[in-house]
């Protein structure tokens, strides 16, 4: 099997040490960091994302695959910076104020990073003003908010309003989480709703690269 295909397969199986080893070997063999990222790691993570969307794999498998991806990316990082591969876009992500649920948000982060996007993770219990400040500081393309509680989802309206009020006209707001629906998204004027992490990363990539 071709080394990149093997890397993709091992990543899907969540075998972090083997993935790390293969990335090192591929670099030694002279493959470019970008090719390793695109055709080995991102290709594997893309397949995991599709399977997750289709309920063929579940949260534990995704978390383990993401860990393998991170192990590979760690080896590549210095080479990618050296080669000047730029990220495809910047997302400011967080769970809204009053809400401490972060498992879904972390999946969104991993899937977005798996697509080559830079994700600024503000964590949980994030106030609207923190989203706005971070989006300005980091010149973000997207503000992405997660909420799991019906009592906290209202925070999203304030974030949408604050983005519109500030000079962030090109920034898109994406929302998601168990109680969120497309009709809620429409009712508060948010730009995008995603039902799951894989869809969120697909939409984010489209926003950033067209």
Which is closer to ligand B1M, CB of 27 or CB of 63?
63
Closest CB to ligand B1M among residues 108, 122: 108
Nearer to ligand B1M, 85 or 149 (CB): 149
Q: What tokens appear for 41 in the block?
A: 């790691």
- Joined together, the tokens standing for residue 30 give 């002279």
Minimum CB separation from ligand B1M for residue 204, in Å?
Answer: 8
Considering the complex, state which of residue 24 and residue 186 has its C-beta at the smaller distance from ligand B1M. 186
CB of 6 to ligand B1M, least distance (A): 27
**Interface residues toward ligand B1M, by CB under 6 A:** 59, 98-105, 107-108, 144-146, 148-151, 174-179, 194, 196-197, 200
Short-list 40, 54, 50, CA closest to 11: 40
Tokens at 115, concatenated: 């697509």
Name the minimum Å distance from CB 207 to ligand B1M.
Answer: 12
Q: How far is the CB of 174 from ligand B1M (least distance, A)?
A: 5
DSSP-assigned states of every residue in 147-206: ---TTTTTHHHHHHHHHHHTT-TT-EEEEESTT--HHHHHHHT-SEE-SSHHHHHHHHHH
C-alpha 4/C-alpha 34 separation (Å) is 12
Residue 210: CB minimum distance to ligand B1M, A? 19
Task: List strands edge to edge, sheet with 172-176.
Answer: 118-121, 90-95, 142-146, 172-176, 192-193
Q: Which is nearer to ligand B1M, 37 or 180 (CB)?
A: 180
């Amino acid at each position: 099997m071709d080394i990149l295909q093997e890397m993709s397969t091992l990543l899907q199986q969540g075998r972090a040490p083997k993935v790390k080893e293969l990335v090192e070997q591929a670099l030694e063999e002279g493959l470019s960091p970008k090719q390793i990222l695109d055709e080995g790691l991102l290709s594997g993570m893309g397949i995991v994302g599709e399977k997750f969307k289709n309920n063929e794999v579940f949260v534990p498998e995704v978390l383990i695959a993401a860990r393998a991806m991170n192990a590979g990316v760690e080896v590549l990082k210095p080479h990618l910076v050296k080669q000047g591969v730029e990220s495809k876009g910047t997302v400011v992500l967080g769970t809204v104020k009053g809400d401490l649920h972060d498992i879904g948000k972390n999946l969104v982060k991993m899937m977005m990073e798996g697509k080559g996007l830079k994700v600024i993770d503000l964590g949980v219990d994030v106030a609207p003003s923190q989203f706005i400040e971070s989006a300005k500081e980091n010149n973000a393309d997207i503000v992405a908010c997660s909420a799991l509680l019906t009592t906290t989802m209202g925070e999203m309206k304030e974030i949408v309003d604050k983005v519109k009020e500030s000079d962030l006209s090109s920034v898109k707001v994406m929302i998601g989480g168990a109680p969120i629906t497309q009709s809620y998204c429409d009712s508060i004027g948010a730009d995008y709703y995603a039902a799951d992490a894989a869809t969120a990363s697909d939409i984010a990539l489209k926003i950033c690269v067209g």
